[in-house]
Structure 1
Amino acid sequence: MSDVPFGFGPPDRDPERRDQPGSGDPFGFGALFGFGGPGGAGGGSPEDLLGKMPLFAELQKLMNWSGGPVNWDLARQGAISSLATGTQPTSEAERGAVAEALRLADLWLDQVTDLPSGADRPLAWSRVEWIEQTLPAWSALIDPLAEKVVAAMTAALPQEAMAMAGPLAGIMGQMGGLMFGAQVGQALGRLAGEVVTGTEVGLPLAPAGSAVLVPQNVASFAEGLDRPADEVRLFLALREAASLRLFAHVPWLRQQLHDAVHAYARGITIDREAIERGLTDAMGSMEGGFDPSNPEAIQELLGSGLLEPEETPEQQMALRRLETLLALVEGWIDAVVAAAAGERLPGHGALAETMRRRRASGGPAEQTFATLVGLQLRPRRLRDAATVWGAMAQRYGTAERDRLWSHPDLLPTSDDLDEPMDFVARQGVDDELRALTAEAEDAGTDTDTTPPDDDSPAR
């Protein structure tokens, strides 16, 4: 999956690929309208151009979407149709096995964390069910980001270019919803073929209280591991149940993650002056100048990289915050699952290593945030976070470890994860200072406040 948000980026540098229809077009306008393809070249009025679109009537239906900056109807259809290996409905036996694994996982977790269970109902979803049931969560996460991108894109495009594009300029905003819908649909289709639980992407996507496993993907995950299927299922159930405990009983956590993504969106800007300079250069490089009635000329401008967003320092800070939060969540899950599995799950070490390699090579969580905000979640951050949680439990106990989730200001920062053991050591010093402060306050309240006798010496 692309590591550039929503496919924004410079034009393709490969001359062979750049010459293909629709290549080098970050918004997909060329591919959708057939610019540069058979029958799409040459001049003609915009009306003639629209007459050459065999799917224009269907496009009009899609463009009537008014539900937000992402066409979620198109996203859903695209996600389901892009399931390359197909989908299988869940069987009664699979639903029973998932329910049993999640029940046992909660029993084991009760012994290693004070956070109570966050799962009210166990669910076994097919890939299509995962797509359909998680769309509301994706909408809440992605819509603000897409809306900001569309606004920045529209505001940055020079009025002269919009005027020259003629009637096509009026539908560019609607095309944004189509393009986002198509891209999100493709991304969700790929994710649906890989995710094994409801929280694997780093956020709870299922309805509140729902613990989810995707049996078809669990079976794919288990292939080649040489471990019993029920052992693999229990390991993944432990991860799902642990994640739900954290999100259910740390009320600010989900919002903090969303805020970090949206803080990135608020900072999206496109350099209008750079666009104007690039537009002038592009027009000057075209033989005979820019012809707004020529669809190939429009495609060349749209695919030139002029609308690539620039990353600001504020956005970099938001990404760093998001990376740290995700690492802390994943690290905590790794630590409590390791404590719960212990000697009960013989293959825990091998399964945990498989999960680490999955993340390092770009698993569903990494793919999701790389696509959304260009975030490359570094495995080193996860290891450092897991070190913090493991050391906190070993030195101070699980209650003190989990107490850090009581307020976001108590959590390790990105700088703290650079030296995780220093952070752990400081917690003991902070505890001593709090104890001394409490003793001083108690002593102050017990001070004798009886006024002195008149004959007593002045103090």
Structure 2
Amino acid sequence: MADNPFGFAMPGGQPPDPTDPQQMQQLLAQLQQLLAGPGAAGPVNWELARQVAASHLNSTGDPAVPATEREQVVEALRLADLWLDPTTSLPSGVRTGEAWNRNEWIYHTLEVWQKLCDPVASRMVGAMNDLVPPEAQGSLGPMQTMVKALGGALFGGQLGQALGSLAAEVLSAGDIGLPLGPAGTAALIPANINAYGEGLSIDAEEVRLYVALREAAHQRLFGHVPWLRAHVLGAVEAYAAGIRVDREAVEEAMSQFDPADPESMRQLQVEGIFSPDSTPEQTAALTRLETALALVEGWVCEVVDAAATDRLPAMVRLSEAFRRRRAAGGPAEQTFAALVGLELRPRRLREAATLWRALTEHRGVDGRDSLWDHPDLLPTADDFGDPEGFASRSPELEFPPEEN
């Protein structure tokens, strides 16, 4: 590519001639038409992501939530919150209960997705700029702005498809273990719960109540453990910071894009562009992330199963089905992992649930939940291998003496 000052093939495999003003003007005009608009300046064009996600849902279906079903959801969340009272010392975290359709889930969670995905996308956009040889960067002028906008649009389009798929699978605001929705808002997605329940052949009301219990438990945890939101999202960000961008994969994706054909944006695939660096820092970040997700999900499983044991006839089946679902991740979660390099499933969920159960037996509900008082009190990944040993040890945390 010695004759290509951009470092990668442009539309049709032919690079534009930077000395030909007409070619450059034509290219910029085409890209300006495609990339102009709100959200184009950032590492992800989130307006485009939202539009693509909405378009995806329009094609797959996004039924409105009838008023009667909204009432059923609100009542299920209210009842679930009452059932949780004896099983945890954390008070209710639900200030409002809602039933969302799939588009509403995207709308209410998009702000957190921005925080999670922008750092990763910035690395990809930076890699696209790196494809331009240093000697050519100074003379490109507006072309560098175009490359950034193109990267934002490319990532926005791909994320939009992933979020649209994920919106058709998630059952509640906290379903994937992250605090995605507004604080204090417990929300269920009835269309997805109904579809999931049909596959289990379990009474629809039981499934709704079990999902409501999980959602209410997540709200208690993130609502009354003030450091937890930053801890979990920080673990995701730390892991994302160590993700490496595959230059060849970026180059391959870019070579398939034709600014004269906006539909080519939909055909681009950026899966496989990201891979974690095998450094000690990245390994530690991954362990921290997996441990955080497992501890959250394990605690939710423990308190929810305790609340549902004598109330839901199908509790054992529901519990096992949800454990398998969270541990494996659905198709959309797997697509999202391939897209941004982040796996949002708790690999060690069963071990974490066993550890929380041992803590309940040894220390009681109050002693178990007191571990959420400080992040240094929580079990580590090593403690998963010896739940009885950890549960029987002294829970005291020694802080360093204050300096005078």
TM-score of the pair, normalised by structure 1: 0.71
Shift of 1:175: 1.3
Distance 1:152 1:52, change over 3 A: closer
Shift of 1:243: 0.6
Contact (CA 8 Å) 2:297, 2:349: kept in 1 or not? yes
Contact (CA 8 Å) 1:197, 1:236: kept in 2 or not? yes
5+ residue gaps, structure 1, are 1-28, 283-294, 296-301, 438-459
- Give the aligned partner of residue 454 of structure 1: none
- Aligned counterpart for 1:195 among listed residues 170, 183, 189: 170
- Give the aligned partner of residue 3 of structure 2: none
Contact (CA 8 Å) 2:323, 2:349: kept in 1 or not? no
Shift of 1:88: 0.8
Identity of aligned residues (%): 47
Instruction: Tell me, yes or no, if structure 1 residue 173 matches structure 2 residue 148.
Output: yes
Instruction: Tell me, yes or no, if structure 1 residue 225 matches structure 2 residue 211.
Output: no
Instruction: Tell me, yes or no, if structure 1 residue 411 matches structure 2 residue 378.
Output: yes
Shift of 1:303: 10
Contact (CA 8 Å) 2:333, 2:344: kept in 1 or not? no
Which has more radius of gyration?
Answer: 1
Distance 1:207 1:81, change over 3 A: same
What aligned pairs does 1:72-111 form with structure 2 within 5 A after superposition? 72-83=46-57, 84-111=59-86
Contact (CA 8 Å) 1:98, 1:123: kept in 2 or not? yes
- Aligned counterpart for 2:105 among listed residues 121, 130, 133: 130
Distance 1:226 1:360, change over 3 A: same
Shift of 1:189: 0.4
Contact (CA 8 Å) 1:359, 1:366: kept in 2 or not? no
Cα separation, 2, equivalents of 1:94 and 1:424? 42
Shift of 1:416: 1.4
- Give the aligned partner of residue 233 of structure 2: 258
Instruction: Tell me, yes or no, if structure 1 residue 332 matches structure 2 residue 292.
Output: no
- Aligned counterpart for 2:43 among listed residues 66, 69, 85: 69
What per-residue deviation string (whole Å, max 9, x for no partner) do you get for residues 312-356 of structure 1?
A: 331221111011100000000111111000121001111112212
Which residue identity does 2:147 align to in structure 1?
M
What per-residue deviation string (whole Å, max 9, x for no partner) do you get for residues 282-330 of structure 1?
A: 9xxxxxxxxxxxx9xxxxxx99999866613312211110111000000
Contact (CA 8 Å) 1:264, 1:373: kept in 2 or not? no
Of 126-135 and 140-149, deviating more is 140-149
Instruction: Tell me, yes or no, if structure 1 residue 318 matches structure 2 residue 285.
Output: yes
Distance 1:268 1:338, change over 3 A: closer
Contact (CA 8 Å) 1:149, 1:268: kept in 2 or not? no
CA RMSD of aligned residues (A): 3.5
Distance 1:65 1:108, change over 3 A: closer
SS at match of 1:244: helix
Contact (CA 8 Å) 1:201, 1:368: kept in 2 or not? no
What per-residue deviation string (whole Å, max 9, x for no partner) do you get for residues 139-174 of structure 1?
A: 122223323443455357541465798975552122
Alignment coverage as a number of residue pairs: 370
Cα separation, 2, equivalents of 1:307 and 1:111? 47
- Give the aligned partner of residue 375 of structure 1: 343
Shift of 1:177: 1.1
Distance 1:42 1:209, change over 3 A: closer
Contact (CA 8 Å) 2:291, 2:380: kept in 1 or not? yes
What per-residue deviation string (whole Å, max 9, x for no partner) do you get for residues 65-94 of structure 1?
A: 455321110010011111242101111001
SS at match of 1:116: coil
Which residue identity does 2:51 align to in structure 1?
Q
Distance 1:228 1:130, change over 3 A: same
SS at match of 1:123: strand
What per-residue deviation string (whole Å, max 9, x for no partner) do you get for residues 342-374 of structure 1?
A: 121001111112212222432366665554334
Instruction: Tell me, yes or no, if structure 1 residue 119 matches structure 2 residue 74.
Output: no
Cα separation, 2, equivalents of 1:404 and 1:305? 38
Instruction: Tell me, yes or no, if structure 1 residue 400 matches structure 2 residue 374.
Output: no
Cα separation, 2, equivalents of 1:398 and 1:415? 23
Cα separation, 2, equivalents of 1:405 and 1:304? 38
SS at match of 2:65: coil
- Aligned counterpart for 1:386 among listed residues 353, 360, 383: 353
Contact (CA 8 Å) 1:202, 1:365: kept in 2 or not? no
Cα separation, 2, equivalents of 1:231 and 1:304? 40
Instruction: Tell me, yes or no, if structure 1 residue 235 matches structure 2 residue 210.
Output: yes
What per-residue deviation string (whole Å, max 9, x for no partner) do you get for residues 213-267 of structure 1?
A: 0011111111132211111100000000001100001111110111112223433
Which residue identity does 1:187 align to in structure 2?
A
Cα separation, 2, equivalents of 1:194 and 1:201? 10
Cα separation, 2, equivalents of 1:167 and 1:143? 22
SS at match of 2:181: coil
Contact (CA 8 Å) 1:200, 1:365: kept in 2 or not? no
Cα separation, 2, equivalents of 1:413 and 1:238? 26
Distance 1:46 1:168, change over 3 A: farther
Contact (CA 8 Å) 1:261, 1:373: kept in 2 or not? no
Distance 1:227 1:322, change over 3 A: same
What per-residue deviation string (whole Å, max 9, x for no partner) do you get for residues 27-81 of structure 1?
A: xx98xx7x33xxx76987584477489964531424x645532111001001111
Shift of 1:422: 2.6
